[in-house]
Amino acid sequence: AQRVTQPEKLLSVFKGAPVELKCNYSYSGSPELFWYVQYSRQRLQLLLRHISRESIKGFTADLNKGETSFHLKKPFAQEEDSAMYYCALVFTGGGNKLTFGTGTQLKVEL
């Protein structure tokens, strides 16, 4: 069965510092990976997916199949980046049956 691991429950960084939110997965096939974000008092929303290879709000994520990782990175953290971040996986043909990690709370301090 597929599994998504986010090793850090809480990550605290200073404004302007680089951010890396870790995500590792276990799945034998070719998964699709996503990052979802939940800002305070807002609903869960899609941040980015690996297929699109976009940079959203300055965040990027590269799928490393060798290391089975999909870490989320941003070179300079902003206060508005403080939120809960979830890594998620869906297997090919799995529709919208996402497997989520337990989430990492990012706190950007001034």
Give the three-state DSSP class for 80. helix
- Considering only the stretches 12-20, 22-30, 68-76, 84-92, report the one whose residues sit in contact with another protein under the rule CB under 8 A: 84-92
In this complex, which beta carbon is closest to another protein, that of residue 29 or of residue 110?
29
Query: Smallest distance, Å, CB 14 to another protein?
Result: 28
Binding track over 10-49 against another protein, x by CB under 8 A: ----------------------x-x-x------xxxx--x
Picking from 27, 23, 46, the residue whose alpha carbon sits closest to that of residue 35 is 46
The residue within the footprint of another protein, chosen from 99, 104, 106, 108 (CB under 8 A), is 99
- Considering only the stretches 20-28, 54-62, 64-72, 85-93, report the one whose residues sit in contact with another protein under the rule CB under 8 A: 85-93
Question: Quick check: 105 and 7 in contact, CB under 8 A?
Answer: no
Q: Is 1 exposed, middle or buried (0-12, 13-18, 19+ CB in 10 A)?
A: exposed
The residue within the footprint of another protein, chosen from 30, 66, 96, 110 (CB under 8 A), is 96
Distances (CA, A) of 16 to 53, 58, 74: 23, 12, 10
